[in-house]
Amino acid sequence: MHSVTDLTTRIVPSRFAGKTLVEFASQTKSQNEALAAAAAVVAGSLRNLVLVGPPGVGKTHLAAAIVNAIVTRKDVDYQQRKAEADALPIDQYRQPVIPDSPMWTNVADLIVSLRMEIDAPPDDREASAAVRTLRRWPELVVLDDLGREKSSDWTGEIVYSLVNARYENQLPTVVTSNLSPADLAASPYWPVISRLAEDGALVKVEAPDHRFTK
């Protein structure tokens, strides 16, 4: 069996590849609420989750832990389905077993990439292709650090197109943001945050910055 780190390094940033819900050290009521909501996403009882709050309160840790838990569970399912397929007689049709996995993207990096390829030939627009994939990806998609980029009507349209497509198709999405609920309400992103909260939860995480309290 693969370790959590082996499975998820290709999905989440390497710094967060081994993060789990079990090791998340809650210090405040809101962190407990965020942890419970993250566990509900893993269990499938909560479709969407928006984690907002200042830096260093564990938002990205929780998002990565969600992905790590889902990937680990799916790997067990994949190994079982593959073993069952391999056990079929050689003369029977074996349907290929393709492992599913969540997807992770840093919103600021995605926006920067989109800006850089505006004048690129259509065949070289990898960021645009990534947005199209994220819009329809059937598994969980994590949009990390929404609002870190300079927001505008254009960035609002990009994020709206991506998230609204997932909302309309009832596909699970997790968003993290350093913006406060009030800042989000005044930003171009509020329509998509409202949509995600309808089928999920918005949790404002408040705690000391763990990077300065170690």
pTM of the model: 0.82
Residue whose token pair is 């609204």: 164
Domains of the chain, first to last? 4-212 (3.40.50.300)
Mean pLDDT of the 57-79 span? 84
Q: pLDDT per residue over 135-185, tens digit each? A: 999 999 999 999 887 778 888 899 999 999 999 999 999 999 999 999 999
- Tell me, what's the pLDDT at 65? 96
At residue 102, what are phi and psi to the nearest 5 degrees?
Answer: -65, 170
CA angle 77, 83, 88 (to 5 degrees): 130
**Alpha-carbon distance 3 to 18, whole Å?**
9
Q: pLDDT per residue over 87-140, tens digit each? A: 656 555 445 444 578 999 999 888 888 887 776 666 656 778 888 889 999 999
